[in-house]
Amino acid sequence: MNDAQADVRLAAVTKSFGPVVAVDNVDLEIRRGTIFSLLGPSGCGKTTTLRLIAGFERPDAGEVYIRGERVTSIPPYRRNFSMVFQSYALFPHLNVSENVAFGLRMRGMARADRARAVNDALELVKLDALADRYPRQLSGGQQQRVALARAIVIRPAVLLLDEPLGALDKMLREEMQIELRSLQQRLGITAVFVTHDQEEALTLSDQVAVMRNGVIEQTGPPREIYDRPRTEFVAGFLGASNFLAGTVVALEGGTAIVETPAGRASLLADSRIGDRVRIAIRPERLRMMRDDGLGLPARIRDIVYRGPVTHFYMDSAGGPLLSYQQNAGAQDWSVGDAVRCTWDPESAVVLDSGCA
Amino acid sequence: MRTPWASVLLVPPLAMILLFFVAPVLYLFWVSLHEASSSELYGAALTVQNYVGVLGDSFYLAIIRRTLGVAAVILGLCVLIGYPVAYFVALQPPRRRMLVLLLLLFPLMVSNVVRAYGWVAILGRRGVLNTSLGSLGLIDGPLDLLYTIPAVVVGLMTILLPYMVISIANTLATLDRSYEEAAQALGASPFRTFLHVTLPLSTPGVASGTLLVLLLTLSAYVTITLLGGPRSKLLVSMIYDGVTAFQWPHAAALAFILLALALALTALILSVLRPGRVQGTGR
């Protein structure tokens, strides 16, 4: 991928605040027309990364490019981006259409063109009826839409979103996620989305970068990040995972047999006999069988009913195990039952060593 | 949440306000509607002559105009000098900001009388300014600096400036930084960001500072008397003169004219600055 396709590129960017390295030698490329999520716990450097793209922070080292132009030393107001803030930051002294028009006014657009562009943007977010209202007269969801309209109306090279849905309740948040996604695809916007909500990142993004301690641990499409996590942190941050440690004792075709304290398990990996490995299995991939067949023996410690699924917490000799079972058919497990846990070899993932 | 007890708790302060504030003001208004009396607080006959006399007298109208002029100049200077200082203070990190604000409050710990005499010592005919200018050979004779309107303006302004600075600095310091960042993200240069976002959003601080300075200017007495002398009197001085001449009803009427002026100017300032529009409620 070259710069012509990448709307945003960070090259070896580092930023420290005093002794704390907030962003540590980060490289990333964001392709035109895609949503790129920066996902991680608070303090992982995701917001700082966003602010480095915006220019609100200057990197200690490395370069920032927007549409192929090096902007590292260019102030924010001359960079080609716009931003939706967590608090929305709608100007309280301006009404909805004046808020949306602000960026166009700063760009010196003629009044008539401005009015048309503002109206179009408000129609896109279905708020054209509220153009004369002031921000304080709007609900949280409406304020969110105004912030979005204000950001897209200037047709930026990249739209930066700093946890924009964080202040909304769950129902509204899911609605806005879908709306945001369809809006982005219709307009072909390039967007960088900062969130600590893994579900939101998976729903919205074309690419997800999982950050921890200022470092990007893994970048990839949502499915790859979720199904093939490379590190224990990524596996644990995006949903729950079962972790087992063991040694490869046999190879059968592409399948490796791993000896774990709980028993033997099989997985797809190009390992050698004798390798120490750490594997992760998603709870929904972990099947539970009656205690008479193959699989890792375990005992049910706790059962939590969650509506569509039931969570089974189990103990095995290799550590705790968790399984999600669909509540489609009849299931009559009870606490204390002995079970056998199995999974398909392709469901288990070998994690990078050293990141345990 | 609303229990009968809540309103019971309001009774003592309400009674205090009625007894010690509202009632005396109403009584004073009653006094202002009577003739003067040489032996009593006020005479027997009801009259509006106290008001008509003041408002029809060119001498009093000149005093009112002078009072408004002095207030306007002091307000203007306080905003012009106070805003940049407040902006600088607000930029400081929290700890240093506290220190600077404390420093600004320091002069308020010295009595206005003492400070006015300080200005007398500086501005007087044999004061610091005249003697040093004279010894430098810049002036032939002493300048008449004291007992002038500019002396009153300078004296009051130096006393009132901290109120303006503290009001504006507090608003600026608590302003959410993301407003300014949002403006910059939309392409506004730092100067335009200040003009279109920071300045309008700081109007609550400007409004409260302006009201404080205005009302303290209108009610100042000691500074005006000591620095203005007998020739540069303002409305408050006339009230005092009325009281000392035992013209109680006349003084009361002047007090109500001053009150009306203060209320009208307050309404004017609030309607121009509209601080409510950036504070989430009302407009």
Where do the structural domains in chain A lie, given as residue ranges? Answer: 6-231, 240-351
Instruction: Report the pLDDT value the prediction gives residue B280, as an integer from 0 to 100.
Output: 53
- Put simply, the answer to whether B183 touches A102 (Cβ < 8 Å) is yes
- Put simply, the answer to whether B185 touches A136 (Cβ < 8 Å) is no
Nearest to A77 among B187, B201, B279 (CB): B187
Using a CB-CB cut-off of 8 Å, the residues of chain A touching B201 are: 91-93
Tell the residue number behind the tokens 């964001």, with chain if given.
A30
A83 touches chain B (CB under 8 A): yes
The Cα of A80 is separated from the nearest Cα of chain B by a number of Å equal to 8
Give the DSSP H or E segment for A212: strand A207-212
Q: For A253-267, B176-190, B240-254, which range has the lowest pLDDT when averaged over its residues?
A: A253-267
Instruction: Report the pLDDT value the prediction gives residue B255, as an integer from 0 to 100.
Output: 95
Residue A132 CB contacts under 8 Å (≥ 6 apart), including other chains? A95, A96, A97
Q: For A126-135, B1-10, B92-101, which range has the lowest pLDDT when averaged over its residues?
A: B1-10
CATH class of segment(s) A6-231: alpha beta
The residue of chain A nearest to residue B175, with distances taken between CA atoms, is: A89
CA B140 to each of CA B123, B133, B135: distance values in angstroms, whole numbers, following the listed order: 16, 9, 10
A106 touches chain B (CB under 8 A): yes
ipTM attached to this prediction: 0.84
Note down pLDDT in tens along chain A; length 356 residues. Answer: 444 578 999 999 999 999 999 999 999 999 999 999 999 999 899 999 999 999 999 999 999 999 999 999 999 999 999 999 999 999 999 999 999 999 999 999 999 999 999 999 999 998 989 999 999 999 988 999 999 999 999 999 999 999 988 878 888 888 888 888 999 999 999 999 999 999 899 989 999 999 999 999 999 999 999 999 999 999 989 888 999 998 888 888 778 888 888 888 888 877 788 888 899 999 999 988 887 777 889 999 999 998 889 999 999 988 899 999 888 766 688 899 999 998 888 888 888 764 33
Tell the residue number behind the tokens 């279109």, with chain if given.
B196
Distance CA A19, CA A213 (A): 13
* B3 has a pLDDT exceeding 80: no
Distance CA B193, CA B180 (A): 6
Give the pLDDT band of residue B283 (cuts 50, 70, 90): very low
Using a CB-CB cut-off of 8 Å, the residues of chain A touching B186 are: 82, 102-103, 106, 150, 154
Nearest to B188 among A54, A77, A92 (CB): A77
Mutate to test the interface with B, among A74, A80, A85 (most CBs of B within 10 A): A85
Closest CA to A15 of A54, A65, A58: A58
Residue B177 burial (CB count, 10 A): 10
Instruction: Report the pLDDT value the prediction gives residue A330, as an integer from 0 to 100.
Output: 61
| CATH 3.40.50.150 holds for B60-276 | no
Asked whether A85 and A47 are in contact (CB, 8 A), the reply is no
A186 touches chain B (CB under 8 A): no
* B92 has a pLDDT exceeding 60: yes
Amino acid identity for residue A264 in this structure:
R
Domains A6-231 and A240-351 share a fold: no
User: Which overall architecture, per CATH, does domain A240-351 show?
Assistant: Beta Barrel (2.40)
Distance CA A237, CA A312 (A): 19
Residue A328 burial (CB count, 10 A): 8
Using a CB-CB cut-off of 8 Å, the residues of chain A touching B176 are: 87, 89
The residue of chain B nearest to residue A150, with distances taken between CA atoms, is: B186
Asked whether A246 and A265 are in contact (CB, 8 A), the reply is yes
Q: Six-digit token pair at B19?
A: 């007894």
Residue B3 burial (CB count, 10 A): 8
A75 touches chain B (CB under 8 A): yes
Closest CA to B186 of A89, A50, A110, A185: A89
Q: What is the average per-residue pLDDT within B8-34?
A: 93
Asked whether B152 and B165 are in contact (CB, 8 A), the reply is no
CA B84 to each of CA A99, B23, B88, B151: distance values in angstroms, whole numbers, following the listed order: 27, 43, 6, 24
